[in-house]
Each structure stands twice: as C-alpha cells, then as structure tokens.
Structure 1
Amino acid sequence: MAYVNAMLVCTQAPMVGAVPFLFPPDKVQMTRDVQFSSHGSSSPNGAKPAGGLESFKKAEPLKINLSEVLFSGPETKPLCDQLLNWMSPGSGRLGQMVGGALAVKTKSMNHVNRLPVLTFQMGPPSAGFLYDVMLQSAQISFTRFNRTGIPIRARATLTLKEQPSLLGTLPTNPTSGGLPGRRTYTVTEGEDLVNLARSHYGGTSDWRRLADANGIDDPLRMRPGTTIYLPNPDEFTD
C-alpha cells in the first residue's frame, strides 16, 4: 500500500468515506481572526474611542486553505465527488435513503442540514497537521480525460474550517510548560473552567482537575485572552 501524504476522512454515517491526496498540497495557508472590543473615552463625534484599550473577546475558528491538491488515475472522479458530497448533507442515494428514514422517524430534517465533521491529517500527527474540520469550499478543475471522457486528473483548492475537538497539533511546545499531548486554548469573554470542562471533556466534573493543571485558584473568574492548557483526557484517569 502506498504511503498517503495527506487525507480527509469522515466517520459520520451516512457520509463515511476517505479522500487520500496523491501528493501534499503545494501550499497550506492558515488564517485566524479575532474579535475585540475597544474601551476608553469617546472622540468628540462619538464615532470611535480615543486613546482607549482593545480587549480580546474571542478567536474565530482556524481556516485552512489547501492549494493545488492533485488527483490522478481512475479514482479521480469518485474522490472529487466525495468532496462535493461532504458539502451537501443528505446527497447521494445512500444519504437520501438514510436521511429520509430518519426524517420520518424524528419529524425533523435538521440532521440533513448539518455538514459532516472531517479529520484532516497531513504528515505524522506528532509533527504535521491533525484537525477536525468542515469542508467550507472546493474548487475543482478536471485537467485530463481518457478516450471515453472519464476524468483521470484533477486539481482542487479546498478551504477547511476548524471544529472544536480533542485533536490539535501534537505535541505541545515543551517551552510552553505543557505536557506532551496538551493543547492551548485562549479564554473568551464569559467563559469559565466549568463550561470549558463541559465543552472539551463532555461534562463539568473535570473542572477542578483542569484548574489544578493550570494553577487557577478561582475557576469562575478568568480574564478574556488568558491562555490555558487543555490536558489530554488520559491525564484525568485515576
């Protein structure tokens, strides 16, 4: 079996599938925006604060742009179709059958409207990329066909949007003070360790261990912009 440089994988039914990349993308561009509020005395016209301070509110999810992803061979069209199907929940015969059955049972189509969460992996997890993402956009150019008109080569540009998960780039930089397997997280306005434990570990019972791992005395009062460590769940086992 050939070594796979990078791939996208989905484990959520009925959208299960994998798209291996023939070669690494030519370029991986990562972008993150932040939101902040300004504090200080107002200018005479009241339009903008004058000489005020800017306070961090939240960081937007990471956007990952993959340029020049190459597909080649007889699997070119099925792999590109898989990418497009991930952007259209409930598409394809299997998705429509499963989605329709669930809709009859639940009287709801909300599950059909959710994009599946994919795992993007490129290189070894210890030194490369490992993120849970949604496929936000795909631009695909078919550049070669066989004599019957079947595509046998394509180039794609993909935009991925990071989703909250327990993955992340590993290991944590040793100079940060974190243990291997930990991630860092920047606290946003209104967050505390109780709701962080719920969102990252599935329950509130681990807030005290999260506080101990970060040397925090008051878990209910944290300033926006504070960076904390999110230990690997294995560290919480007794």
Structure 2
Amino acid sequence: MPPTGANNSLVRARLTIHHPPSGSSHTLGGRIDEVEFQFNPNQLELSRSASWYAQRAVGFDRGAQQEFSGADPASLSVEVFLDSSATPTTPEVRKKVDQLLSCCEVDPESLPTNRPSPPWVRFSWGGFSTVQFIAYVESVSAAYSLFSPTGEPLRATCRLSLKEIPTPTKGQNPTSGALTAQRVHRVVVGDSLPSLAWREYGSATRWRAIAEANGIDDPMRLRPGSELLLPSADDVRRGRERERGGTP
C-alpha cells in the first residue's frame, strides 16, 4: 500500500540520473533523466561507518590499540511505490521501473571513455540535506502487484540501494571561492550557454555560471572548436545560495 498521506506532500522526493564523469573527475555529468516520486517514502535507511585497524602492542592490557584507517561510503536504502491504476491505458509504471533499472546498466555515452560506468545519481528530498550525496545505484528490485487486462503493470514497489561515491576532501581554504572541480567541453555548432547549462545542470537559467568561469560577455556567440570550463554542479548550487544570502 502507498504511504499514508504521501500523495498530499508539497515537496516530492526525487532521483536525478546523470551521465558519469569522464576520466577521474568526481563531478556529475549532464542530466539524463529524473524520477519524481509519486508517493514520498515513509522510511529511509541511511548507514555510514568508519574503518579502524587494530595495532597489537604489549603495553595495552585491555585489547589492541585502534588506529583510524578511513571513512566508508554511506549507503541509502529507499522504497519507491508506483501506481497508475487510475490511468490503466498508460505505460507509466513500466517506464519508471525501466528508468530505475537502467541505473545498473552501462551508460552508452561512457563506452568510448577509459572508464565505462552506469549513470551516477543524486537522491534529494527538499531540505533533507543528510541524504543528498552523489551515488551509484547498487541494486534495484521491482515487485509488480497489479496488472491491466492486457498485461500492462499498473502497480509496483521498487527497492533501491544507493552507495555514496567518495569525493576528495574539501579544499583547505573554503573561503577562497576556488572551484572544486571542472569539466572541459569542446564547443560544437549549435551550442549556446543556455543549452549547455540545461544539459549540465538541468536549468538553462544557470548559464551565467559558465559565462563567469570563462569570461564570456555574449552567451549566444560561441566559437566552434573552443573549449569551455564547466563548473561542478555543487559550485553552481553554492553560488546561487550565496546570491540569495543563504549558507552554502
């Protein structure tokens, strides 16, 4: 059954699906798709752990001395309930399940690179920042529970397991304003800053971030063959928060 009252929520949980970065970058690539939750989850399971190494020494009579060896990636488990029984002629449930299953398949655009990879994702739910991190989908399972007379699935419960993708430690001088990561894009005919911003950040209105990073005055005039630095999505988000007077 769907979570009680979830359909009345004003803020929807969502899973944004991105192309993986090229090379060793930890910056999300352009957005592929987005799965907005039809019903908000009634439970999230978040786990995080740290690794310690036991260094045995004669001088300790109550066990071995422990040494910290690193933080482990976070894991997030979430359940997605899908229901299109009110519109039984649409393949909405099947399409959304296919979107989620594709997160465990290699992204075709990554095949020419040296590091083929499935898409990277980011789960978000309003201001619940604790569960918002870049991740890959470790597993997806779908249980179908209702079908149309033609066999079209009308109801499904999907269980997702996300594993955090570790990112480099933040810079030593957080007030410097330096970009944490960038990606290089070679301009082709038809490119514009709004179109690049849409592909990279999911919003054409964020073209100013690319313009500022490259010292561009006219966003519509780009020279084919030239290279542009694309700021990371996190840098763009922090810049917008600073403009609004918020805390990055």
Matches of 2:52 and 2:13, distance apart in 1: 35
Which amino acid in the other structure matches residue 202 of structure 1?
Answer: A
1:36 aligned residue (27, 47, 52): 52
Instruction: Show the counterpart of 1:20.
Output: 36
Distance 1:64 1:36, change over 3 A: same
Which amino acid in the other structure matches residue 10 of structure 1?
Answer: I
Q: Is 1:60–2:72 an aligned residue pair?
A: yes
Counterpart mapping for 1:152-231 below 5 A: 152-164=154-166, 193=172, 201-202=180-181
Per the TM alignment, residue 4 of structure 1 is displaced from its structure 2 partner at its CA by: 5.1
Counterpart mapping for 1:8-157 below 5 A: 8-12=15-19, 16-41=32-57, 51-67=63-79, 69-73=80-84, 74=90, 75-90=92-107, 95=108, 98=109, 103=112, 110-111=114-115, 113-122=116-125, 124-125=126-127, 129-157=131-159
Per the TM alignment, residue 6 of structure 1 is displaced from its structure 2 partner at its CA by: 0.8
Distance 1:89 1:14, change over 3 A: farther
Q: Provide runs of 4+ in structure 1 moved above 6 Å.
A: none
Distance 1:142 1:133, change over 3 A: same
Per the TM alignment, residue 15 of structure 1 is displaced from its structure 2 partner at its CA by: 7.2
User: TM-score normalized by structure 1?
Assistant: 0.55
Per the TM alignment, residue 59 of structure 1 is displaced from its structure 2 partner at its CA by: 0.9
Secondary structure of the structure 1 residue equivalent to 2:100 = helix
Secondary structure of the structure 1 residue equivalent to 2:66 = strand
Matches of 2:155 and 2:81, distance apart in 1: 7
Per the TM alignment, residue 78 of structure 1 is displaced from its structure 2 partner at its CA by: 0.5
Matches of 1:80 and 1:154, distance apart in 2: 8
1:140 and 1:154 in contact (8 A); partners too: yes
Which digits, 9 at most, give the CA deviation of each residue in 1:23-52, with x for residues without a partner? Answer: 122321111122111234259xxxxx9633
Per the TM alignment, residue 193 of structure 1 is displaced from its structure 2 partner at its CA by: 4.7
Provide structure 1 residue ranges, at least 5 long, that are not aligned to the other structure: 44-48, 167-184, 204-231
Secondary structure of the structure 2 residue equivalent to 1:41 = coil
1:201 and 1:233 in contact (8 A); partners too: no
Per the TM alignment, residue 164 of structure 1 is displaced from its structure 2 partner at its CA by: 3.6
Which amino acid in the other structure matches residue 49 of structure 2?
Answer: D
Provide structure 2 residue ranges, at least 5 long, that are not aligned to the other structure: 1-7, 20-28, 85-89, 183-236, 243-248
1:6 and 1:120 in contact (8 A); partners too: yes
Which amino acid in the other structure matches residue 65 of structure 1?
Answer: S
Which digits, 9 at most, give the CA deviation of each residue in 1:137-161, with x for residues without a partner? Answer: 1111011111111111100111001
C-alpha RMSD over aligned residues:
3.8
The count of residues paired between Structure 1 and Structure 2 equals 161
Instruction: Show the counterpart of 1:219.
Output: none
User: TM-score normalized by structure 2?
Assistant: 0.53
Distance 1:7 1:40, change over 3 A: same
Per the TM alignment, residue 163 of structure 1 is displaced from its structure 2 partner at its CA by: 2.0
Matches of 2:43 and 2:77, distance apart in 1: 8
Matches of 2:164 and 2:95, distance apart in 1: 25
**Which structure features the higher share of strand residues?**
1
Which amino acid in the other structure matches residue 19 of structure 1?
Answer: V
Which amino acid in the other structure matches residue 72 of structure 1?
Answer: D
